[in-house]
Structure 1
């Protein structure tokens, strides 16, 4: 994991231009190098009758983390949607459940950009309880227009994602 630069606020991604604003606060999570870390607490509503997190709720946790990561780097999803410029849609998702989370667990969703293309971005995510990996996911989000067809992401968004691309070594986080 990359070390945090003490001269840069923790919610600012690495190599972020100092004259470019981050997002309006409040947002969830912070950057640790190129990884976004988003805290989650497991509430009763997140669990099933057996007392563990219902499998679909991990997707909700990861969606919240991705949304706040985008907000932090200046991707204005609401503005784009309201202006009719499109919205992100999940076009691919591979998820693996390794261990259950339980009521009142303190979790962290770690997100990192793996690949950027003209109309989409690949994001790797994992849900952690301390050092234990509970769930991993590979997500592709494509920007789609009102017609439902992919459209090119704004240049500023692509540049923001490219600054965050994770260069993976070995099988860390799998």
Structure 2
């Protein structure tokens, strides 16, 4: 018997690809995706990318090491998505720093770019202060960044 599991994205070279569908609850009165919902799609894709890459955020949090917090976010909305659209969130590690990682994310509908974003996620200690990321996470990010080179 097969167990049903939540959707998981996949890597293609250095890019992580995560598919989502637009449901009625994602849209606003005009029938297009509400702008904040793109942030949700991108958050799910980033979390999945980290999990697939072997970064265990939950264990780090529960072990008192820390957690990621979005430090900076630049978003450019180019075209709207609509009810029932199939979207692809493409994420790639751009830069790895001691206490943060920069990720470029694109929301695509087929070949059309809908949203272009750059996210800096900082690793934060339970005290709320920035701290170095675990060394094995930096290694995982370096491996991702080198896949396409």
Q: Deviations over 1:121-151 (max 9, x none)?
A: 0000000000000000000001001111111
Which one has the bigger helix percentage? 2
Q: Secondary structure at the match of 1:36?
A: strand
Whether the aligned pair in 2 keeps the contact of 1:42 and 1:106 (CA below 8 Å) is yes
CA contact (8 A) 1:96 1:136 kept: yes
Q: Distance in 2 between matches of 1:141 and 1:166?
A: 19
Which runs of 5 or more structure 2 residues have no equivalent in the other structure?
Answer: none
- Higher normalized contact order (CA 8 Å, seq sep 6+, divided by chain length): 2
> Matches of residues 3-14 of structure 1 in structure 2 within 5 Å?
none
Is residue 98 of structure 2 the alignment partner of residue 137 of structure 1?
no
**1:83-108 deviation per Cα after TM superposition (whole angstroms, max 9, x unaligned):** 11100000000000000000000000
Task: Check if 1:61 corresponds to 2:41.
Answer: yes
Residue in structure 2 matched with residue 128 of structure 1 by the alignment: 108
Contact 1:119 1:142 in 2 (8 A): yes
Q: Report the TM-score when normalising by structure 1.
A: 0.80
1:65 to partner: Cα distance: 0.1
The runs of at least 4 consecutive aligned structure 1 residues that moved more than 6 Å come to none
- The answer as to 2:55 corresponding to 1:82 is no
**Mean Cα displacement is larger for which, 94-103 or 159-168?**
159-168
> Which residue is 1:110 aligned to?
90
- Identify unmatched segments of 5+ residues in structure 1: 1-24, 169-174
Task: Indicate how the Cα distance of structure 1 residues 166 and 123 shifts in structure 2: closer, same or farther if over 3 A, else same.
Answer: farther
**Contact map agreement 1:52 1:102 (CA 8 A) in 2:** yes
Give the TM-score, by structure 2 length. Answer: 0.93
Is 1:160 the counterpart of 2:127? The answer is no
Going by fraction, where is strand more abundant, 1 or 2? 2
Query: Is 1:31 matched up with 2:7?
Result: no
For 2:52, the equivalent position in structure 1 comes to 72
RMSD between aligned residues: 1.5
